[in-house]
């Protein structure tokens, strides 16, 4: 049976549901298809949200472990009710996915559960139904990379399995020192696992400022994680009791673990959509090429989110989704901003935006950086004195801000001020002369700008 659909969205993650809801708000008749039973995609079901819930539990445990320094006696290793923790996390996910279902109903967005494939340039097949669309948005996301040589074993987890909280392994090996690996290391180290992180590259969180990544590394090590960089896993052997890992590179060692988390990246698989039938082709890495409006090259087919490549982040997907919905509905949206903020919700958080000093200089800009160490922040000292740094990258001539990195408590929240500043073409004076409340961590942003201008009196 063939049915006509005005606006079809494949994939109900943060990209897909944003596109669907925006299109519905613009008067389109929308059908949203997803293979899973709940809306929200990876982000709500097995990504951003459950990981942040577990990271909150980790933060509580960290605070408790530091309570004695403030004269508050609490059990240093309080018993953890895993079932209750799991239920709390799952409850948050259910609240949010259920909320989305309500928002879809309110907008009269029809939701179909099923796996979609193209059946032609203007049609998609879901089960035994064929949907002939006027416009289609592909928002099928990504899945964890599985190293092909790795065996199948219930003790070798991807991020989805790690978030299920099956148990707290005594010894946990995390392969990959990117954001997923380190967020999971933060969670399980707090829950009591002895965590070893094995990272192929020379620094954790490749792509982030090197000094900020070193501060994060030192903090993770102080909280009990062992972090090995320039090291690869050459063999992995599930044994009866444990899983054995052979390491080579900077560290040559045999490691025994009770569980292993594989966090070596995520991959899109656009080809699974039978793209050739729509006249499209996936790139070698499984993604679809698009322009800053999400256009694929086929007039009525857009692609957004992780399926279009990196950075694979929920907020990028959401913005792409709205842009595609608006363009397809006859509006004139601005293209996707090149400024996509990145935040690792580790302890401490690591957040960055825009250009690093090296990137700016490589682009031919006379760039400089100015930093403010959080050891000199009153607010930081009064709230635990965690390690931290605020660094601004700016153009020496124009004093325009080009990029920023923050590492420290709530760095992710502080980043938004700088993202807005860079979007608006702010100069150092704009930040330095904006009165920041005292004592706040946000003062470190103004202090870094003052330091660059030579007006700082707090150091």
Residues that bind ligand NAD (CB under 6 A): 147, 175-181, 183, 198-201, 206, 232-233, 263-266, 310-313, 343-345
Residue with smaller CB distance to ligand FAD, 255 or 261: 261
Provide the CA 8 distance to its chain's centre, in angstroms.
26
- With CB under 6 A as the contact rule, the residue among 5, 9, 24, 43 that binds ligand FAD is 43
Binding at 199: pick from ligand FAD, ligand NAD, none (beta carbon under 5-8 Å per type): ligand NAD
**Paired tokens of 442:** 């946000």
Mind giving me the DSSP string for 142-209? -EE---TTSPP-TTEE-HHHHHTT----SEEEEE--SHHHHHHHHHHHHHT-EEEEE-SSSSSSTTS-
Residue with smaller CB distance to ligand NAD, 34 or 183: 183
Residues numbered 48-77 forming contacts with ligand FAD, rule: CB under 6 A: 48, 51
- With CB under 6 A as the contact rule, the residue among 33, 257, 259, 393 that binds ligand FAD is 33
Residue with smaller CB distance to ligand NAD, 236 or 280: 236
Residue with smaller CB distance to ligand NAD, 309 or 373: 309
Binding at 115: pick from ligand NAD, ligand FAD, none (beta carbon under 5-8 Å per type): ligand FAD
Residues numbered 283-322 forming contacts with ligand FAD, rule: CB under 6 A: 305-307, 312-315, 317
Query: Is residue 181 within the footprint of ligand FAD (CB under 6 A)?
Result: no
Other beta carbons within 10 angstroms of residue 317's beta carbon come to 27
Binding at 178: pick from ligand NAD, ligand FAD, none (beta carbon under 5-8 Å per type): ligand NAD
Q: Establish how many alpha carbons lie within 13 A of residue 107's alpha carbon, considering only the half-sphere containing its beta carbon.
A: 24
Give the nearest distance from C-beta 273 to ligand FAD in angstroms: 5
x/- binding map, residues 327-366, to ligand FAD, per CB under 6 A?
A: ------------------x---------------------
Query: Which residue has its beta carbon closest to ligand NAD?
Result: 178
Binding at 309: pick from ligand NAD, ligand FAD, none (beta carbon under 5-8 Å per type): none
Phi-psi region of 127 (alpha: psi -120 to 50; beta: other; left: phi over 0): left
Q: Give how far Cα 248 sits from Cα of 103, 122, 145, 146, 202, Å.
A: 51, 51, 21, 20, 14
Binding at 408: pick from ligand FAD, ligand NAD, none (beta carbon under 5-8 Å per type): none
Alpha-carbon distance of 237 to 213, in angstroms, equals 31
Give the nearest distance from C-beta 194 to ligand NAD in angstroms: 19
Residue with smaller CB distance to ligand NAD, 147 or 363: 147
x/- binding map, residues 77-116, to ligand FAD, per CB under 6 A?
A: --------------------------------------xx
Binding at 315: pick from ligand NAD, ligand FAD, none (beta carbon under 5-8 Å per type): ligand FAD
With beta carbons less than 8 A apart as the criterion, state whether 213 and 352 touch: no
x/- binding map, residues 193-232, to ligand FAD, per CB under 6 A?
A: ----------------------------------------
Binding at 172: pick from ligand FAD, ligand NAD, none (beta carbon under 5-8 Å per type): none
Residue with smaller CB distance to ligand FAD, 43 or 441: 43
Number of residues that bind ligand FAD (CB under 6 A): 36
Residues numbered 234-273 forming contacts with ligand FAD, rule: CB under 6 A: 272-273
Active site residues per annotation: 438
Instruction: List 353's β-bridge partners, or say none.
Output: 404
Binding at 13: pick from ligand NAD, ligand FAD, none (beta carbon under 5-8 Å per type): ligand FAD
Give the nearest distance from C-beta 118 to ligand NAD in angstroms: 26
Residues numbered 133-152 forming contacts with ligand FAD, rule: CB under 6 A: 139-142
Alpha-carbon distance of 107 to 445, in angstroms, equals 41
With beta carbons less than 8 A apart as the criterion, state whether 205 and 366 touch: no
**Paired tokens of 114:** 């099923």
Task: Name the site residues for ligand FAD (rule: CB under 6 A).
Answer: 10-16, 33-36, 41-43, 47-48, 51, 115-116, 139-142, 159, 180, 272-273, 305-307, 312-315, 317, 345
């Amino acid at each position: 049976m063939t049915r006509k659909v005005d606006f079809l969205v494949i994939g109900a993650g943060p990209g897909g549901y944003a596109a669907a809801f925006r299109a519905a708000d613009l008067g389109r008749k929308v059908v949203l298809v997803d293979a899973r039973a709940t809306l929200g995609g990876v982000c709500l079901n097995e990504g951003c949200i459950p990981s942040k819930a577990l990271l909150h539990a980790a933060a509580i445990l960290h605070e408790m472990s530091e309570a004695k320094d403030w004269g508050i006696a609490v059990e240093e290793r309080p018993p953890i009710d895993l079932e209750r923790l799991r239920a709390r996390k799952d409850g948050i996910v259910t609240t949010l996915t259920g909320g989305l279902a309500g928002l879809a109903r309110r907008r009269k967005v029809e939701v179909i559960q099923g796996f979609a494939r193209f059946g032609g340039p203007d049609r998609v097949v879901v089960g035994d139904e064929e949907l002939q669309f006027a416009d289609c948005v592909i928002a099928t996301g990504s899945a964890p990379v599985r190293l092909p040589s790795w065996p199948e074993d219930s003790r070798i987890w991807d991020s989805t399995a790690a978030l299920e909280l099956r148990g707290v392994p005594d010894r946990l090996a995390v392969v990959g020192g990117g954001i997923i690996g380190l967020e999971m290391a933060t969670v399980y180290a707090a829950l009591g696992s002895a965590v070893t992180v094995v990272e192929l590259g020379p620094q954790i969180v490749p792509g982030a400022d090197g000094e900020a990544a070193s501060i994060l590394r030192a903090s993770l090590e102080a909280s009990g994680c062992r972090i090995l960089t320039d090291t690869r896993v050459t063999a992995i052997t599930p044994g009866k009791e444990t899983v054995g890992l052979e390491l080579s590179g900077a560290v040559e060692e045999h490691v025994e673990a009770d569980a292993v988390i594989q966090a070596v990246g995520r991959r899109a698989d656009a080809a699974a959509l039978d793209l050739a039938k729509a006249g499209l082709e996936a790139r070698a890495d499984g993604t679809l090429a698009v322009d800053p409006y999400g256009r694929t090259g086929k007039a009525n087919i857009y692609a957004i989110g992780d399926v279009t490549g990196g950075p694979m982040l929920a907020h990028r997907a959401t913005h792409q989704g709205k842009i595609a919905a608006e363009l397809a509905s006859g509006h004139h949206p601005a293209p996707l901003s090149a400024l996509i903020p990145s935040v690792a919700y580790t302890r401490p958080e690591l957040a960055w935006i825009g250009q690093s000093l090296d990137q700016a200089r490589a682009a031919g800009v006379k760039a400089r950086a100015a930093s403010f160490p959080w050891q000199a922040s009153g607010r930081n000292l009064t709230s635990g004195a965690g390690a931290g740094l605020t660094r601004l990258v700016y153009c020496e001539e124009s004093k325009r801000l080009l990029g920023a990195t923050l590492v420290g408590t709530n760095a992710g929240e502080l980043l938004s001020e700088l993202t807005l500043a860079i979007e608006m073409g702010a100069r150092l004076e704009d930040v330095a002369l904006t009165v920041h409340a005292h004592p706040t961590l946000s003062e470190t942003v103004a202090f870094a700008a003052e330091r660059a201008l030579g007006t700082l009196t707090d150091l």
